[in-house]
Amino acid sequence: MPILKSLGVADPKVPRAGTLPLRSSRNPFEEVPGPEEDEVGELGSLPNGTSCRRRATLEKLAGLAPFRLGWTPGRRAGSPGDGQSRSFLGRVLTPGIRRSSADFGLLARLQGTRAQGDEEVAGEAARRLAFLRLGRGPKPRRASLAERVVPAGEAAPEPPPKVPEPPKMKEPLSVLEILSLIQQRELARADEHILELEAEELASSGGGAPGPPGAEGAAGGRRARDVALLYEALQRELWALVRETLAGPGPGAGAGAGAVAQLGQVLVQEEAADGRRGPGAARKLRARWAEAVARAARERLEAAAPGAPGGLAGQLEALRARLLEDMGVVRGRLAPAYPAGLGAFGVYLRGYHGALADWLGAAARRRLPLADRYALLHWHNQVYPREVLGLVDLVALENGELGPLLSPGTLRGLEDECVTDVKAQTRAALLRVLQENEEHWGSTEEQPSSLAQDVCELLEEHTERAPRVSQEFGERMAHCCLGGLAEFLQSFQQRVERFHENPGVRELLPDRYISRTISLVNCGPPLRALAERLARVGPPESEPAREAAASALDRVTRLCHRVLADLLFQELQPHFNKLMRRKWLNSPEALDGIVGTLGAQALALRRMQDEPYQALVAELHRRALVEYVRPLLRGRLRCRSARTRSRVAGRLREDAAQLQRLFRRLESQASWLDAVVPHLAEILQLEDTPSIQVEVGVLVRDYPDIRRKHVAALLDIRGLHNTAARQEILAVARDLELSEGGALSPPRDRAFFSDISVPRPPFCLGLPLFLGRLPLSQLTRPGLACLPRLRPPFPSRPPTQR
């Protein structure tokens, strides 16, 4: 009895309704015969002959009878105290009726009070079962139903056919249960029940279209509010899932492919439901999904950029890495989990593209330094299309190509700002470099000049970066830099001219003066090559700037060459004064001095770069031969016999060969000068007029700047005073001079005879003119044989005052 009381069982001596009294023996579960035993047949018995009444009693005794939600052990169904909660439970637990959100608070309170009671009941029931098993002992073997019903030796009858059970009616879930599914990420099931709830709300409202989320109608307002709240909760989980799945496959990185598949299934279900709702009531979850992807992409990019080192270039590199990482996750894990009809990869790509466009647009609106603008333009035009979009199959996009990250107007504005800043910065930097370099021109210290290198580095920094952005931007930048270079070279030319006009520098520092002049000349080739390259890259409008730059460099080069040549020929002038004299015919001393001095100075000139060095050596070659021929044509030496003419011609050939060997050793390219002295020697040595005419014709053809006065002076040197022969020879020079080819003036570097001035050609007096004026004895004197030709004044032009 105490044991039964501890188990919560009533006194067995007092029978309860629907149970049998128990004997107070050792076995507490032994049946007590009574009048109720006659009703066993009414209640039914088991095949082994035992009564089912004992089994029911044990179940009730042990507290194992089935109970529903809200039943408390020890309280009967009809016990007082149920009150309003019993009516609530009847409403909540009635099959086929959906529990609404108004019952959630009371249900939660009941479940909260039930939770502690359930734990106590569970522990007490476990103790009762253990005690009952110990009292019953081992379970006896019972005869089967066939052994008890069928007599021995007879065949067992066929079992009665099974009556199919009626299909169980699916109980609709409550709003809290749907919300629980959402929180457990069973999104597809939750969406199905939400659609059912929405259909019920639609049916209860008379078939009208449901309002938009959050709308509350007059009828069914609570159910419509429940639907709206569930959709809000569902969307929160969906968009949270979108953010989490982009975090990568690491721990805590978000749901896996199953959750993404559920997300895609929800989108498909909602898109089908939108077709039934109509355009005015469509929820458009697919469009909101795309917006959620764009928001998640924006958050991912903004989180990657700020912490990157290296300014804007470092941030752009971080964006590139994040884009490649996330698009790899989308391509490998996310896109295959979505249904194929959603085009998930294109949605993610467009979301990242739009987020990146917003980021770049915000960066472009800021006042960026020049380096950051270069980096932004290069990344936009080259890095993103090649390294990001180049790895994406754009054909797979449903709506065609992606739009531009930045508008054409924004790009043009960035380029204009770059060009303006480059023009201002390079102008100031070039002038600063020129000023610093000019300060060392007059110093006594030997310092190598880096002017050309500094200028090229300043401009090439921009001319090399701009074409990487686009060809058009490269052309604009080349035109801008070429204009700045032309201005710099004009200023450079003026400063070089002032430097050479200062006599104090030349007198005080002769050695440094030559070295500094060579260094100034060496600035020409790299700057000229830069100007030519910029003109090729730039638009056609760059040609005037190129010509201005080339003209300034030509002036600087010619000025420095003239200065060096003047200094050299000042030293050579004493040796040239010894030419074409009697001593020159007998001794090579004068020419040896010329050759030795030129060879010694060539060592210093070799420090010059190849292009200006070749030009200088060619000028020295030309000027040396001009100075060599000048005293010959000015009549310093007269040949009065064939023997003298032969000696002079031989000496000319020897000197010409020696000078040719010298300038070949100096790598002169002016080979057109090698034949001038041999031609003159031939004219002096030939005796017959036709041969002289041929040689004069060759001379005039090879050196078109020769004039009749030069030929006449040469005829005077060889002693040809025959008027007819002179006229025949001079006629050849006149005809070639007046011809089309001879009338053209040669270029400055091919001029030779135009730099040689000769006196007016003399003429021989005719004998009849002076028969009555001069004695015949005076006509034999050689000094009176030839007189200078009288020049009559021109009546149409007054005489020039000198």
Higher pLDDT among residues 369 and 798, named by residue: 369
Q: Where are the alpha helices (DSSP H) in 502-542?
A: 503-508, 510-522, 524-537
Q: Exposure string (b/e) for 202-235, b if CB count within 10 Å is 16 or more?
A: beebeeeebbeeeeeeeebeebbbbbbbbbebbb
- Model confidence at 480, pLDDT cuts 50, 70, 90, reads very high
Per-residue confidence (pLDDT) for residue 307, from 0 to 100? 63
pTM, two decimal places = 0.66
The candidate with the shortest Cα–Cα distance to 561, out of 599, 605, 528, is 605
Residue 51 forms beta bridges with which residues?
Answer: 45
Higher pLDDT among residues 710 and 217, named by residue: 710
Per-residue confidence (pLDDT) for residue 792, from 0 to 100? 42
DSSP state string for 260-275: HHHHHHHHHHHHHHHH
Compute how many other C-beta atoms are within 10 angstroms of the C-beta atom of residue 714: 24
Angle in degrees, 0-180, between the axes of helices 408-438 and 370-378, rounded to the nearest 10: 140
Tens of pLDDT, residues 550-596: 999 999 999 999 999 999 999 999 999 999 888 898 888 999 999 99
To the nearest whole percent, how much of the chain has pLDDT over 70?
67
The candidate with the shortest Cα–Cα distance to 457, out of 526, 389, 517, is 526
DSSP letter, residue 140: P
Tens of pLDDT, residues 426-442: 999 999 999 988 888 87
The pLDDT of residue 330 is above 70: yes
- Model confidence at 761, pLDDT cuts 50, 70, 90, reads low
Mean pLDDT in residue range 685-698? 91
Q: ∠ at Cα 777 (772, 781), nearest 5°?
A: 110
Least confident segment among 202-206, 626-630, 641-645, 714-718: 202-206
Compute the chain's Rg from CA coordinates: 59
Dist CA 178 CA 156 (whole Å): 52
Tens of pLDDT, residues 337-372: 999 889 899 899 999 999 999 999 999 999 899 999
Least confident segment among 127-131, 168-172, 514-518: 127-131
Q: Cα 465 from chain centroid?
A: 10
**Which one-letter amino acid corresponds to residue 95?**
P
Ramachandran region, residue 95 (left: φ > 0; alpha: ψ -120 to 50; beta: rest): beta
- Model confidence at 234, pLDDT cuts 50, 70, 90, reads very high
Q: Which two tokens stand for residue 782?
A: 């050689």
- Model confidence at 543, pLDDT cuts 50, 70, 90, reads very high
SS (H, E, C) 64-108: CCCCCCCCCCCCCCCCCCCHHHHHHHHHHCCCCCCCCHHHHHHHH
Mean pLDDT in residue range 288-299? 94
Per-residue confidence (pLDDT) for residue 56, from 0 to 100? 40
* Residue that the structure tokens 């020419």 belong to: 591
The candidate with the shortest Cα–Cα distance to 317, out of 383, 262, 410, is 383
Q: Which two tokens stand for residue 224?
A: 């419509």
Q: Which two tokens stand for residue 644?
A: 């003298």
- Model confidence at 398, pLDDT cuts 50, 70, 90, reads low
Mean pLDDT in residue range 640-656? 92
Per-range mean pLDDT, top range of 31-35, 78-82, 120-124: 120-124
Angle in degrees, 0-180, between the axes of helices 311-329 and 285-304, rounded to the nearest 10: 140
Q: Where are the alpha helices (DSSP H) in 305-369?
A: 311-329, 335-337, 344-365
Q: Exposure string (b/e) for 396-425, b if CB count within 10 Å is 16 or more?
A: ebeeeebeebbeeebbeebbeebbeebbee
Per-residue confidence (pLDDT) for residue 774, from 0 to 100? 41
553 with 524: CB under 8 angstroms? yes
Least confident segment among 215-219, 371-375, 556-560: 215-219
* Residue that the structure tokens 């987020």 belong to: 355
Per-residue confidence (pLDDT) for residue 629, from 0 to 100? 93
Least confident segment among 47-56, 207-216, 372-381, 490-499: 47-56
The pLDDT of residue 716 is above 70: yes
Mean pLDDT in residue range 643-654? 92
Mean pLDDT in residue range 649-669? 93
The pLDDT of residue 62 is above 70: no
Q: What is the dihedral sign for C-alpha 186, 191, 193, 194? A: positive
The candidate with the shortest Cα–Cα distance to 73, out of 124, 140, 33, is 124
The pLDDT of residue 723 is above 50: yes
Tens of pLDDT, residues 152-176: 555 556 666 766 666 555 667 888 9
The pLDDT of residue 523 is above 60: yes
638 with 714: CB under 8 angstroms? no
The pLDDT of residue 138 is above 70: no
The pLDDT of residue 602 is above 50: yes
Dist CA 386 CA 357 (whole Å): 16
* Residue that the structure tokens 């959750």 belong to: 259
- Model confidence at 254, pLDDT cuts 50, 70, 90, reads very low
Per-residue confidence (pLDDT) for residue 414, from 0 to 100? 94
Higher pLDDT among residues 758 and 232, named by residue: 232
Q: Which two tokens stand for residue 416?
A: 């204009």
First CA to last CA across the chain, in angstroms? 162
The pLDDT of residue 410 is above 70: yes
Spatial CB neighbours of 727, under 8 Å, sequence gap ≥ 6:
none
> How far from 635 is each of 38, 581, 643, CA to CA, in Å?
174, 10, 18
The pLDDT of residue 787 is above 70: no
175 with 100: CB under 8 angstroms? yes
- Model confidence at 521, pLDDT cuts 50, 70, 90, reads very high
Spatial CB neighbours of 132, under 8 Å, sequence gap ≥ 6:
58, 62
* Residue that the structure tokens 């023996």 belong to: 25
- Model confidence at 80, pLDDT cuts 50, 70, 90, reads very low
SS (H, E, C) 426-454: HHHHHHHHHHHHHCCCCCCCCCCCCHHHH
> How far from 192 is each of 186, 231, 306, 450, CA to CA, in Å?
10, 11, 42, 79
Backbone angles phi, psi at 502, to 5 degrees: -85, 110
Question: What 3-state class would DSSP assign to 31?
Answer: strand
The pLDDT of residue 245 is above 80: yes
Per-range mean pLDDT, top range of 123-137, 388-402, 547-561: 547-561
To the nearest whole percent, how much of the chain has pLDDT over 90?
42
**Which one-letter amino acid corresponds to residue 717?**
I
Query: Average per-residue pLDDT in the chain?
Result: 76
- Model confidence at 765, pLDDT cuts 50, 70, 90, reads very low
Dist CA 267 CA 601 (whole Å): 90
Mean pLDDT in residue range 396-412? 80
* Residue that the structure tokens 């099931």 belong to: 189
Ramachandran region, residue 739 (left: φ > 0; alpha: ψ -120 to 50; beta: rest): beta
Per-residue confidence (pLDDT) for residue 503, from 0 to 100? 77
Cβ neighbourhood burial of 390 (10 Å; 0-12, 13-18, 19+): exposed
238 with 342: CB under 8 angstroms? no
Q: Cα 466 from chain centroid?
A: 11
Least confident segment among 133-137, 244-248, 414-418, 723-727: 133-137
The pLDDT of residue 421 is above 60: yes
Contacts for 525-528 with beta carbons within 8 Å, 24 or more apart? 525/609, 525/610, 525/611, 525/612, 526/452, 526/453, 526/456, 527/452, 527/455, 527/456, 527/485, 527/489, 527/553, 528/553
Dist CA 533 CA 463 (whole Å): 10
Per-residue confidence (pLDDT) for residue 488, from 0 to 100? 95
Helix (H) or strand (E) holding 763: strand 763-764
Q: Which two tokens stand for residue 659?
A: 């000078």
Tens of pLDDT, residues 9-30: 444 444 444 333 433 334 433 4
Higher pLDDT among residues 456 and 173, named by residue: 456
**Which one-letter amino acid corresponds to residue 64?**
L
The candidate with the shortest Cα–Cα distance to 45, out of 151, 154, 145, is 145
405 with 360: CB under 8 angstroms? yes
Q: Which two tokens stand for residue 229?
A: 């709240």
Per-residue confidence (pLDDT) for residue 37, from 0 to 100? 39
> How far from 473 is each of 386, 479, 654, 692, CA to CA, in Å?
18, 10, 62, 65
Dist CA 462 CA 474 (whole Å): 9
390 with 339: CB under 8 angstroms? no
